[in-house]
């Protein structure tokens, strides 16, 4: 079927999907209030972990989205307990030696602060912003993703980091301190100028020369090979460009958003849910990454706020077509099948040409579930961003 003829999700389906997701989150509270979901499920079931991975904020974000939908006080109480854990984590520097402070603190602590005025959430998120800016390199003007700061083999940014920057804009707005905004502006500019290739496909990671700060080379970690487009990296690019525009209002980011989005669309299989790398399509014996579909939908639904009516209508239709497929073909509908929300995601798929380990392949993952709920919430109401 041609993409323009694919069905869009209906209001009733959005409602059904959000209701089920909220019920599923509530069912999970006994095991996942004092602990967190692991990044990915095993045989479609998540196990509990301590608050020590880069992914734990997504589960707390699901709790807050479920609270927004239902106003169920049990969810609010659980979200508050989790915020205490995030404050403890940043105060004691537990697993925060990397750039994912936004993924951790936006959907958990900023969400709780915005929704309920939770002051502990605000304090924790400001500390997380302070932690994030310690990873900024003036030489090269970017925030380093991983590893020790003085090693040339770590002197790189990754496309995913675009989602960590709203934390800095929020910290600027809350504290009035321009250093947060200035670092975010610089990183965005460096990232967008380097990770996006001429054809609007994207590098997962990009290295800089440690002495001069000059751009050096792109490389993949989680994609299939260096020159391919890792599906989730492309999706982070779509949402990242929308957020970059929201916070900077730099006109050129709109065109880049269009290009990155078009590349994604042009490489989708028939059911509009990408394989884990955009190199693959229908007929390839490769796993999907349903999380990329939901992340892209959130980016589309953010960007339409800043577009003319005609463009906004067409991107909104596309978003509603993609999320319809996620709902229809990938979402969990029976708690006996999974304690997650969306099946068939891929966290990290080893290939002969990439540098990642192999885990969480064809499973639920925590951000796939979170962004599915965020996409539905965006369709249900005028949502105030956690990002
Ligand atoms: N940010 C890491 C990932 O998307 O797997």
**Pocket lining: 302 vs ligand 1, CB cutoff 6 Å:** no
> Using an 8 Å Cβ cutoff, are 387 and 106 in contact?
yes
Quote the pLDDT of residue 338.
Answer: 98
DSSP assignment string, 271-307: TS--BSBTT--TT----B-HHHHHHHHHHHHHHGGGS
In angstroms, the CA 353 to CA 285 distance is: 17
Cβ of 232 below 6 Å from ligand 1: yes
- 152 by DSSP, 3-state: which? helix
pLDDT string in tens for the chain (387-residue length): 889 999 999 999 999 999 999 999 999 999 999 999 999 999 999 999 999 999 999 999 999 999 999 999 999 999 999 999 999 999 999 999 999 999 999 999 999 999 999 999 999 999 999 999 999 999 999 999 999 999 999 999 999 999 999 999 999 999 999 999 999 999 999 999 999 999 999 999 999 999 999 999 999 999 999 999 999 999 999 999 999 999 999 999 999 999 999 999 999 999 999 999 999 999 999 999 999 999 999 999 999 999 999 999 999 999 999 999 999 999 999 999 999 999 999 999 999 999 999 999 999 999 999 999 999 999 999 999 999
User: Which pLDDT does position 37 carry in this prediction?
Assistant: 98
Q: How open is the CA angle 263-267-273, to the nearest 5 degrees?
A: 115
- Quote the CA–CA distance of 142 and 384 in Å, as a whole number: 28
At 244 the pLDDT is 98
Evaluate: CB of 289 within 6 angstroms of ligand 1: no
pLDDT of residue 283: 98
Using the atom order of ligand 1, give the atom closest to the CA of residue 160: 1
Model pLDDT, residue 2: 86
pLDDT on residue 17? 98
Please state the atom number of ligand 1 nearest to the C-alpha of residue 103. Answer: 1
Distances (CA, A) of 221 to 26, 70, 226, 368: 35, 39, 8, 19
Residue 229, SS3 per DSSP: coil
> Nearest-CA neighbor of 366 among 127, 32, 8, 83?
32
List, in order, residues 6 or more apart from 110 with CB less than 8 Å away.
121, 122, 125, 167, 170, 386
Active site residues: 100, 160
Which domains, ranges and CATH numbers included, belong to the chain? 11-380 (1.50.10.10)
Q: Considering the entire predicted model, what is its pTM?
A: 0.99
Residue nearest (by alpha carbon) to ligand 1 atom 5 = 347
Q: How far apart are CA 287 and CA 314, in angstroms?
A: 29
Provide the CB-side half-sphere exposure for 286 (13 A, CA): 25
Tell me the C-alpha distance between 68 and 145, whole Å.
Answer: 32
**CA–CA distance, 347 with 42 (Å, rounded to integer):** 12
């Amino acid at each position: 079927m041609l993409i323009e003829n694919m069905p869009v999700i209906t209001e009733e389906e959005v409602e059904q999907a959000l209701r089920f997701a909220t019920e599923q989150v509530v069912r999970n509270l006994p095991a996942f209030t004092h602990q967190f979901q692991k990044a990915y499920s095993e045989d479609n079931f998540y196990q509990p972990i301590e608050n020590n991975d880069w992914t734990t904020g997504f589960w707390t974000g699901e709790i807050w989205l479920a609270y927004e939908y239902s106003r169920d006080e049990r969810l609010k109480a659980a979200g508050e307990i989790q915020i205490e854990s995030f404050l403890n984590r940043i105060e004691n520097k537990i697993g925060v030696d990397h750039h994912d402070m936004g993924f951790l603190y936006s959907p958990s602590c900023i969400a709780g602060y915005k929704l309920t005025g939770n002051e502990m959430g605000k304090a924790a998120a400001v500390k997380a912003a302070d932690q994030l800016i310690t990873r900024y390199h003036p030489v090269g003007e970017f925030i380093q993703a991983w590893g020790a700061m003085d090693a040339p083999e770590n002197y790189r940014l990754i496309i995913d980091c675009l989602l960590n920057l709203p934390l800095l804009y929020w910290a600027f707005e809350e504290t009035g301190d321009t250093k947060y905004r200035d670092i975010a502006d610089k990183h965005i500019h460096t990232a967008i100028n380097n990770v996006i290739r001429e054809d609007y496909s994207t590098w997962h990671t990009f290295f800089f020369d440690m002495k001069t700060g000059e751009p050096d080379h792109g490389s993949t970690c989680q994609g299939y090979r260096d020159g391919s487009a890792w599906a989730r990296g492309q999706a982070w690019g779509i949402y990242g460009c929308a957020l970059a525009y929201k916070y900077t209002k730099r006109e050129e980011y709109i065109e880049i958003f269009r290009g990155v989005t078009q590349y994604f669309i042009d490489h989708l299989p028939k059911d509009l849910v990408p394989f884990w790398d955009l190199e693959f399509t229908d007929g390839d014996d490769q796993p999907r990454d349903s999380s990329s579909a939901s992340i892209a939908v959130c980016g589309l639904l953010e960007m339409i706020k800043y577009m003319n009516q005609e463009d906004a209508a067409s991107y909104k239709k596309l978003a509603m077509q993609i999320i319809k497929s996620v709902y229809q073909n990938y979402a969990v509908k029976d708690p006996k099948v999974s304690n997650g929300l969306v099946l068939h995601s891929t966290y990290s798929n080893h290939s002969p040409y990439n540098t990642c380990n192999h885990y969480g392949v064809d499973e639920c993952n925590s951000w796939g579930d979170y962004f599915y709920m965020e996409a539905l919430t965006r369709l249900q109401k005028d949502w105030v961003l956690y990002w």
